[in-house]
Chains A and B, each alone.
Chain A
Amino acid sequence: MIDMTRRDQPGLKQRQQRWLFWGILIVMIYIWSFSGLEFTGIKASAGEVTRSIIAGIFHPDWQYVYDGSGEDLISLIIQTLAMAFLGTFISAILSIPFAFWAARTGQTKLHLRSSSGKFVLILIRTFPEIVLAIMFIKAVGPGSFAGVLAVSIHSIGMLGKLFSESIENIDAGPSEALISSGANRSQVLTFATLPTVLPEFMSYTLYRFEIAVRSASILGMVGAGGIGTPLLFALQTRAWSRVGIILLGIIITVTLTDYCSGMIRRRLV
């Protein structure tokens, strides 16, 4: 007995060697990553700009909050929220077929359908969202519609993955009961699969909505509507009090949406 436990634990020397190996490897990785990376010096104005931004946050341009022109903070934040909401909704619907495609069913090790679906979802996930936005701007012109399309396609990557995982983890009881009483496949789908996964789907969609609000607020930087456009413009023209009010607006919006969606999600699952 004693021998067996001993054999499982590597000796002190072995352990030291392992630590040494990982230590040297990590040090080498860090030397490699610091070498060749050019830090072309901080601009001399860095301190001043930081101070101006902080001053801008504490002295925001209150006039910008609402002026009735439709180009003010509140209308653009509402537009951003609408982009995220609609994009996430479309994406949730589009994700359902992808989820069934990628979900692994049965016990076989190699699963061509599921693996190909998973790979497509990875492909969608890594395709940068701003590139998608630029592509859609080519198709529909600059504006929030391009942003909606970018959000709705990009979100499929994550929602499809989460949905397919919840289909995989489904309790087999209800569907087996239905099959044994002679239900066909569409009946199993409507009466066993969908009712079990629907609350989870809705919870994941809300979670994705929180992320979409963040990404919708930056899509404007490439011209796809929302609050990002005036922010980039204010940064480039060094209108720091304008930057300050937009940052405040985004922080408040994201915090509020996170809070509300968190509350609804807790009630759902």
Chain B
Amino acid sequence: MNVIPKQRFVQKYHLKALGGLLLFILLIWWSARVTEVDFGLFFVNFDQFLALLQKMSHPDWQYLSLVIAPLVETIKMALIGTSIGTLLAIPFSVLAARNIINNDFARGLIRLILNLIRTLPDLMLAALFVAIVGIGSLAGVLTLAVFSFGMIAKLFYEAIETIDDGPLEALQAAGATKMQMIHFAVLPQVFNHFISYFLYTFEINVRASTVLGYLGAGGIGVYLQRSLSQFAYDQTAVIILGILAVVLVIDGISNTLRERLL
């Protein structure tokens, strides 16, 4: 009875774990070769990097008065972009929810489109929209609208799928149409979640919108790009501190509102 369980050879010497580790180290080594990593180079030019940091640590406070208007513009861009994205996302999220639409094919198609939209990074969308509509805040608003559309639609349909089915069934039993069901059973249950997700996406968009201008899509990013290309790192520091302040304030407001909602 009391037999010590035998370990197979592979188990005894942890060959699986060792093999995995070896593969991992090989991957790291290979990535370092592909990306031409050379930490020596970093330390050779370290004084240049330090000089840059030193310049950044003495922000040019005079520049602050110029920065406030584009920072406000950035917030406006984020708000309008998020709102447009949300308005577009609501019908799609209803169509993608499992408990409302029974057609597997239609739902799968919509989810596939949403997934594809979410693969595109924000700056890439900005580059595309600048090419389409030209330089200016409109490109930024469109970028943020598409960017938040993909994210909000996913958050929304997941929220809709977690609702209590009782009211839905009761309405269906009473002979309600699909629109009536959505109005009286779905919306009251998800409304607070929707507002909360909207605010959350708005926070993310405020962060994203601060760099979109780098490619010409309006807002503070335009100034960021200008100061960097002029090597005016003391101005860059002011802009980054301004972005930090805005992000902290917006996060604070949005967090208090979300806590009150849920």
Report A's interface with B, CB cutoff 8 A: 29-30, 32-34, 36-40, 42-43, 46, 49-50, 53, 78-79, 82-83, 85-86, 89, 122-123, 126-131, 134-136, 138-141, 143-145, 147-149, 214-215, 217-218, 221-222, 225, 228, 231-232, 235, 238, 243, 247, 250-251, 254-255, 258
User: Which residues of chain B (156-199) have a CB below 8 Å from chain A?
Assistant: none
- Bound: A243/B130 CA distance, A: 14
Residue B124, interface by CB 8 Å: yes
**Could you list 22 examples of A-B contacts with CB < 8 Å?**
A33-B80, A36-B73, A37-B76, A43-B134, A46-B133, A46-B134, A49-B131, A78-B34, A82-B35, A122-B248, A129-B211, A131-B228, A135-B52, A141-B41, A145-B35, A145-B37, A145-B41, A149-B42, A214-B121, A222-B214, A238-B131, A255-B116
Given contacts A37-B137, A250-B119, contact A128 B224 (CB under 8 A): yes
Indicate if B36 sits at the interface (CB-CB under 8 A).
yes
A38 to B224, CA, bound (A): 19
- Docked complex: B47-82 residues within 8 A CB-CB of A: 48-49, 52-53, 73, 75-77, 79-80
Residue among B34, B52, B121, B243 making CB contact with A144, cutoff 8 Å: B34
Tell me whether A221 and B215 are in contact (CB under 8 A).
yes
B137 cross-chain contacts in A, Cβ below 8 A: 37-39
Partner of B80, one of A37, A130, A148, A243: A37
Residue numbers in B under 8 Å from A225 (CB-CB): 35
Contact across chains for B228 and A134 when beta carbons are under 8 A apart:
yes
In contact, A148 and B37 (Cβ under 8 angstroms) = yes
Q: What is the total of A-B residue contacts with beta carbons within 8 Å? A: 159
A223 vs B144: C-alpha distance when bound (angstroms): 23
Q: Are B128 and A130 in contact (CB under 8 A)?
A: no
Please judge, given known A-B contacts A39-B136, A218-B124, whether A140 and B38 are in contact too, CB under 8 Å.
yes
Contacts known (A33-B79, A37-B80, A42-B133); A126 close to B41, Cβ less than 8 A:
no
Q: Which residues of chain B are near A36, meaning CB under 8 Å? A: 73, 76
With a cutoff of 8 Å between Cβ atoms, the chain A residues found around residue B45 in the complex are: 138-141
